[in-house]
Amino acid sequence: MSRAPAFPPLIPKPLAVAPRRGAFQLGRSARIVVRADDPEAARVARLLAARLRPATGYRLPVSVSREPGSGDLVLGLSPGDRALGDEGYRLRVEPTMARLDARTPAGLFYATQTLRQLLPASVDSARRRPGRFEIGLVTIHDRPRFGWRGLMLDVARHFFDVGEVQRLIDLMALYKLNRLHLHLTDDQGWRIAVRSWPNLTRVGASTAVGGGPGGHFTRRQYAQIVRYARDRFVDVVPEIEMPGHVNAALASYGELTCDGVAPAPYTGIDVGFSSFCIGKELTYAFLDDVLGELAALTPGAYVHVGGDEAFSTDPSDYRAFVERVQRIARRHGKRAILWEEAARARLQRTAVVQHWHDPELARRAVSQGAKLVLSPSTRVYLDMKYDRGSPLGLEWAGRTSVRKAYDWDPADAVEGVAERDVLGVEAPLWSETIDTRAGLDWLAFPRLLGVAEAGWSEAGRTWREYRMRLAQHGPRLAALGVGFNADPSVPWSSLATADR
Ligand code: NGO
C-alpha cells in the first residue's frame, strides 16, 4: 500500500498546497534560470544561489533568459497574472524542474523562501553538508492575508548593532515578514545620528538600561540596514518616540526642556516620566530637523512618531502635539504611524495606528478612518515571559506561551474592529531584559514564527496542526544558529534530522 505524499511543514502556511508522490533532486549541475528581463528578478535568483551554495557546495550559476534544462530552478515573472497579488507566487516542483512564478519580484522572493523550506533543513547550514538535497513534488499557490507583517526591535533600551539587525532581517525574510520597525529612541538611549543635533549621539547614545555603554547607528550604518532590508523586501519603519519617552533627547539638549535644565541620563526601566516641552517652538524645529533627516534616509512610506504613555504631558497639550507632529511627518513626505494613545487626538486620514493594549483607543482610531497594525501585548509582545520559569522577559501583560502567540485571529482580536480596518500584525521585541543575541533569539523564537503565520495565512489555522509543523523548524533554526526556546509544548524533531 502506498502512503499519501507528505504535507510539507511550511511556515507560514500557504494558501493552497498539493503534494504528489515523487521527488525532484537538486543536483550539482543545477542552474537557476531567470525567464524575465528584469534586474530585480535576477537579483532574487542570485540571493537564492548565495543562500544554497554554502551547504550544498554547488555552483548554481544564474543565467538569464536561457532555455531551462533538466534539473534547473526556473524563475519567471508574469506581471499580468492578477491572481498572484503583489506578494503572491506559484511554485511547481516537478520531477525534472522546479518552477517559481510571481507577478512581482517580492512574490518571486517569497517563492524562493518557500523553496528553501521545502529543502532539508541542512541546506540552511553555513557549512558544507553531505547528503541529498531532495524536494517532494508539490504545487503551491500562495499569497498573504495582510500586507503588514512586522517585527519591532527596541534598540533604545539595549543597543543591537548592524550585524545583529541584518541577521534578524535574514530570519524575517525566511518567514515572509516585510516590516522592520526600529524603535530608535527612548528614555535610556538615542540610537540614530542626526547631523544637525550631534549631541543626541554624543550624549544621548552613551547609556542603556542597567548602565551599559549604549551605542548608535551612524547615518551610513542606518542606510546600510535600510538597503539590506529592501533587498529582502523588508521596509524599515524608523521610530522617534515622542512626546514622552524622551529623556535621552532632553539629557543631550537641556534647551529642549521647559526649564532649560538637562536631566541626568536614565538607566532604569520606568516609563512615563519625561516629556518634550509642548509650548516651545524649539521642540518643533528640533523635530522638523530630526524627522527631515530620517525621512531622507528612509525610502519606505512610513515614519513612526510614538505617542504612547505620555503620562507627563498635559492631555490637551498632547492632542495639539500629536496633530502638529503628523503634519511635520507629512511635510517630509511620510505617513505617520503612532501608538494607539494618539487616537485621543485628531488623526490624519492617512494615519496608521498601532494597537497594543486598549481596545477602546483602537476603536477610536478606526472611527477616525485610521487603519490598524495589531500588536496586542497579551499575544505578540515577544518581550513577555513564556511562563513562570522564564529567565528573561517582563510580565506586565501576562505570560505568553508559544501557543498563545499563535492561536489568535487578527480579524477578531479587537471587538468592533473588522478585517478591512486591519493592515496587519507586528510583534514588538522590547529590550529591557535582553542585551545579547542569545537573549534576543530566546525571546523571539519560536514565537515570531507564529506571528508571521497569523499575518500571512488565512483564518482557520489550528494550534494542533501548527505545532507539528513548527516542530520541524527546530533543525532549521538550529542550522541557522538561532538559539530558540525549545519549549516543551512543541514536539521538536530531533536535531539529527537536520543531517538527513
Ligand atoms: C509598553 C511601553 C514600552 C515598554 C513595553 C514593555 C509600549 C507601546 N510602551 O509598550 O515602553 O518597553 O511596554 O513591554
Residue 255 placed within a domain? yes
Residue 198 placed within a domain? yes
Please give the grid coordinates belonging to residue 107: 512574490
Q: Ligand 1, residue 339: give the atom nearest the CA.
A: 8
Clarify whether residues 230 and 341 are in a common domain: yes
Query: Residue 12 C-alpha to ligand 1 middle, in angstroms?
Result: 27
Instruction: Report whether pLDDT(459) > 90.
Output: no
Catalytic residue numbers read 309
Q: Ligand 1, residue 154: give the atom nearest the CA.
A: 12
Clarify whether residues 158 and 298 are in a common domain: yes
Clarify whether residues 387 and 337 are in a common domain: yes
pLDDT number for residue 250: 98
Query: Residue 189 C-alpha to ligand 1 middle, in angstroms?
Result: 15
Mean local confidence (pLDDT), 392-414: 97
Asked whether the beta carbons of 258 and 279 are under 8 A apart, the reply is yes
- 444/442 Cα distance (integer angstroms): 6
Q: Ligand 1, residue 397: give the atom nearest the CA.
A: 14
* Strand intervals (E) in 293-447: 302-304, 335-339, 352-355, 371-374, 422-429
CB < 8 Å & 24+ apart, contacts of 6-9: 6/136, 8/117, 8/118, 8/136, 8/138, 9/117, 9/468, 9/469, 9/470, 9/471, 9/472, 9/473
Instruction: Report whether pLDDT(134) > 80.
Output: yes
Clarify whether residues 79 and 196 are in a common domain: no
Mutate to test the pocket of ligand 1, among 241, 269, 377 (most ligand atoms within 8 A of CB): 377
Which residue minimizes the CA distance to atom 5 of ligand 1?
Answer: 430
| Residue 499's pLDDT band (cuts 50, 70, 90) | very low
CB 203: neighbour CB atoms within 10 A?
17
The half-sphere exposure of 74 on its side-chain side, counting CA atoms within 13 A, is 19
Clarify whether residues 419 and 297 are in a common domain: yes
Residue 190 sits at φ, ψ, to 5 deg, of: -115, 120
Which of 82, 113, 142 is a domain's end point?
A: 142
Mean local confidence (pLDDT), 136-148: 98
pLDDT number for residue 495: 55
Residue 7 placed within a domain? no
Clarify whether residues 134 and 174 are in a common domain: no
pLDDT number for residue 308: 98
Query: Which residue is associated with the grid cell 511547481?
Result: 92
Which residue minimizes the CA distance to atom 7 of ligand 1?
Answer: 308
pLDDT number for residue 2: 55
Clarify whether residues 280 and 406 are in a common domain: yes
- 188/199 Cα distance (integer angstroms): 15
Query: Residue 340 C-alpha to ligand 1 middle, in angstroms?
Result: 12
Residue 68 placed within a domain? yes
pLDDT number for residue 120: 96
CATH of the domain at 249: 3.20.20.80
* Containing structural domain, residue 65: 16-142
Q: Ligand 1, residue 384: give the atom nearest the CA.
A: 14
Query: Which residue is associated with the grid cell 493592515?
Result: 423
| Residue 3's pLDDT band (cuts 50, 70, 90) | low
Residue 40 placed within a domain? yes
Clarify whether residues 122 and 155 are in a common domain: no
Which residue minimizes the CA distance to atom 4 of ligand 1?
Answer: 430
- 404/379 Cα distance (integer angstroms): 6
Please give the grid coordinates belonging to residue 237: 519603519
Mutate to test the pocket of ligand 1, among 153, 240, 308, 337 (most ligand atoms within 8 A of CB): 308
Instruction: Give the H/E segment covering residue 142.
Output: strand 133-142
Residue 476 placed within a domain? no
Clarify whether residues 32 and 123 are in a common domain: yes
Clarify whether residues 285 and 301 are in a common domain: yes
Report the pocket of ligand 1 as residue ranges, CB < 6 Å: 271, 308-309, 339, 356, 381, 383, 394, 430, 432
Instruction: Give the H/E segment covering residue 109.
Output: helix 105-118
pLDDT number for residue 434: 98
Q: Ligand 1, residue 309: give the atom nearest the CA.
A: 9
Tell whether the torsion through CA atoms of 185, 190, 192 and 196 is positive or negative. Answer: positive
Query: Residue 388 C-alpha to ligand 1 middle, in angstroms?
Result: 20
| Average pLDDT over the chain, rounded to an integer | 96
- 271/380 Cα distance (integer angstroms): 20
Query: Residue 354 C-alpha to ligand 1 middle, in angstroms?
Result: 12
Which residue minimizes the CA distance to atom 11 of ligand 1?
Answer: 271
pLDDT in tens, 205-220: 999 999 999 999 999 9
Query: Residue 430 C-alpha to ligand 1 middle, in angstroms?
Result: 7
Residue 91 placed within a domain? yes
Q: Ligand 1, residue 269: give the atom nearest the CA.
A: 12
User: How many domains is the chain built from?
Assistant: 2
Which of 89, 114, 142 is a domain's end point?
A: 142
Residue 11 placed within a domain? no
Which residue minimizes the CA distance to atom 13 of ligand 1?
Answer: 430
| Residue 115's pLDDT band (cuts 50, 70, 90) | very high
Which of 114, 142, 170 is a domain's end point?
A: 142
pLDDT number for residue 37: 86
pLDDT in tens, 464-493: 999 999 999 999 999 999 999 999 999 998
Mutate to test the pocket of ligand 1, among 152, 186, 241, 271 (most ligand atoms within 8 A of CB): 271
pLDDT in tens, 274-299: 999 999 999 999 999 999 999 999 99
Clarify whether residues 170 and 126 are in a common domain: no
Asked whether the beta carbons of 217 and 189 are under 8 A apart, the reply is no
HEC per residue, 240-265 = CCCCCCCHHHHHHCHHHCCCCCCCCC
Task: Give the type of residue at 358.
Answer: D
pLDDT number for residue 4: 75
CB 320: neighbour CB atoms within 10 A?
15
Clarify whether residues 31 and 92 are in a common domain: yes
pTM above 0.75, yes or no: yes
CATH of the domain at 24: 3.30.379.10
Query: Residue 101 C-alpha to ligand 1 middle, in angstroms?
Result: 41
Using DSSP, state whether 434 is helix, strand or coil: coil
